Amino acid sequence: MADFVEEIERFLASFSPEENTLSRHAFRALLDGQPATVAELPAALGLPPAVVEAAVENLTKRGTMVVESDTGRIVGVRGLSLVEANHRFILEGRELYAWCAVDAVGIPAALGADARVDSHCHHCRAPLTLELKGGTVEAPDGLVIWAVERDLTRSLRTHT
């Protein structure tokens, strides 16, 4: 387990300060249901356009950001998405999606929020629902959330 945590720490440390700033801004915008656009980021973040473009390109390439090509809207970042995905959650009356079950539970838990998570069994595809109250999971007996060890160099969105 220690090796896995260390690998995650190395992965998170591999992002530049600009990439982290951009990701946080886009994440907050998604939580508010108002996706940021790539065009607005230089002014919003006080960064040169070339720096923003490079950060968006790298985050997209690494699979931690999704940008609509026709609108420039950032519709997914760091596991949170406005685009339908396998794991849905309702947070403050807003329907959001997550790229993996851990994010679907972890995002509302980290926010200390009330939420409902709708997902499915990884093996048999049976529907699963759980509630969070104040960030604490209230799950039916026997419900397990698991994550497999994976190659952190692959796209988080594609391979989770």
Q: Is 77:58 a contact under the CB 8 Å cutoff?
A: no
pTM of the model: 0.85
Over the stretch 88-140, which tens digit does the pLDDT of each residue have?
Answer: 999 989 999 999 888 999 999 999 999 999 988 877 888 989 999 999 988 77
Of residues 150 and 16, more confidence is placed in 16
In degrees, rounded to 5, the angle at the alpha carbon of residue 133 between the alpha carbons of residues 64 and 139 is: 80
* Residue 55 identity: A
Of residues 73 and 125, more confidence is placed in 73
Q: Tokens 């851990």 appear where?
A: 102
**Residue 149, pLDDT score:** 57
Collapsing DSSP states into helix, strand and coil, what is residue 7?
Answer: helix
b/e burial code for range 116-142 (CB count within 10 A of at least 16 → b)? ebbbeeeeeeeebebebeebebeeeee
Cα dihedral angle (111, 115, 135, 103), rounded to 10 degrees? -70
Task: Check the CA dihedral 54-56-57-61 and report its sign.
Answer: positive
Give all domains of the chain, ordered by start, each with its CATH number: 2-78 (3.30.450.410), 81-138 (3.15.10.60)
Q: Tell me the average pLDDT of the chain.
A: 88
Helix 17-31 with 49-61: angle, nearest 10 deg: 80
